[in-house]
Chain A
């Protein structure tokens, strides 16, 4: 096991950010951590990276404390906010991070893999948002770590840049485990072999995208009614359609399909108010 959270509780004052969160990341897994804003994702990652402690429960990274230096030699991180020192060049930043690891990847190779070779001598302060994110991703992989944590790796990028980065991450992933947070469900679907959904500090779902869609139970019903288009995901699809037909109300373009990942996610995290 690479990372193990067991019944982790963390509060800030009166606010409970993690409420008995338990999950694990195994070898060679690519796991997406999903959840609405304030769900506890960032707190969970900060605890996993040893930046914060927990109030109760236990967290083990490679079987040890996440704040241990020995453990960090096996870990690569892409921070959510880059904020690189403006005056340092891309090459200097990558070389600096590489120096912390016992068997780092070649700097030139890593720069090339992340499309940064042409900007090796450019200062970080002059990079665009997309270039900054590529640099942040390169830093997670330069140490050749066994476990990589990516905190919202493509936030703020346009669709094309995002997809290009997915390809880069897929190629760089190799035989290592990756845990990443994201707001983009399609990103989770494209990259992850497993999805964890957290909300209010608790784990609501642990499985693949297919299972997440199936977990919601109902099917997606769309039609054009008298007042315009209608989209519904009823618990009992048959009863819903029967009631619609029996109501005598006019409708057209009736379609019954599986709910999208987004709808499944929204239904799952809607929870009791």
Chain B
């Protein structure tokens, strides 16, 4: 069978299974736009010059939330399930199965980020050109890679029960300390000291570079390092789980 058709088939059922589940859609897809509306929309209206930065920070957080829950909680909860074992007996490779998981995450990431962007476009003076929006899309997907790997690390190292609080803690703490909820200059001094080294801050910097803010080079280097580190930890976790369940 054609690989693309199989990836599409797996993506379709993963997407439908999640989009029909309010327990996933509300906290993961709707929350970023909702919290942006409640907390940052008034600020963006009061300080029009910051409107771009505030919206881009919430777009980054939207992508991070999807990757951590989709991969962290998703893998941890599914890896022991009978359906997962059954799917492994079907004629589809691990690349097709995992490719579908990535495609599903990209779809949800784009939808979640687009909701934030729509609210920002409708209610704030955010002013990005089409080219800048395309760069935002590209950077959001590329910048999401280390968070996918952090998610996979949680998915393979944490139990199903521990994965939800762990992913939530990582998501909220890193978002706050990375300056995604408020401009980094308003962070308490000790948090501001470590903030530039966090992947969330680097992701924010990458997106802010679209409007001429943030240090893009440092962000790319930092995100590449996190990709490498969590890529290795995730790979070890994957192999450990494979040996345990399928050796």
Binds B, one of A82-90, A159-167, A185-193, A220-228: A82-90
A81 to B83, CA, bound (A): 8
- A92 close to B (CB within 8 Å): yes
B92 interface neighbour in A77, A92, A100, Cβ under 8 Å? A100
A83 to B21, CA, bound (A): 16
- A1 close to B (CB within 8 Å): no
CB distance from B97 to the nearest CB of A (A): 11
- From known contacts A52-B247, A83-B82, A84-B83, infer whether A92 and B9 are also in contact, taking CB-CB under 8 Å: no
A-B contact count (CB 8 A): 70
- From known contacts A69-B91, A75-B89, infer whether A83 and B1 are also in contact, taking CB-CB under 8 Å: no
- B161 close to A (CB within 8 Å): no
Q: For chain B residues 71-95, which have a beta carbon within 8 Å of chain A? A: 81-83, 85-86, 88-93
Contact A77 B89 (CB under 8 A): yes
Contacts of A83 in B (CB 8 A): 81-83, 86
Contact A69 B92 (CB under 8 A): yes
Contact A81 B89 (CB under 8 A): no
Contact B89 A51 (CB under 8 A): yes
A72 interface neighbour in B21, B89, B246, Cβ under 8 Å? B89
Contact A51 B91 (CB under 8 A): no
- In the complex formed, the residue of B with least CB distance to A89 is B16
A92 to B10, CA, bound (A): 11
Interface mask (A90-103 → B, CB under 8 Å = 1, otherwise 0): 00110011011110
Residues of B within 8 A of A (CB): 1, 5-6, 9-10, 12-13, 16-18, 20-21, 81-83, 85-86, 88-93, 246-247
Residues of A within 8 A of B (CB): 49-53, 69-70, 72-73, 75, 77, 79-88, 92-93, 96-97, 99-102, 139
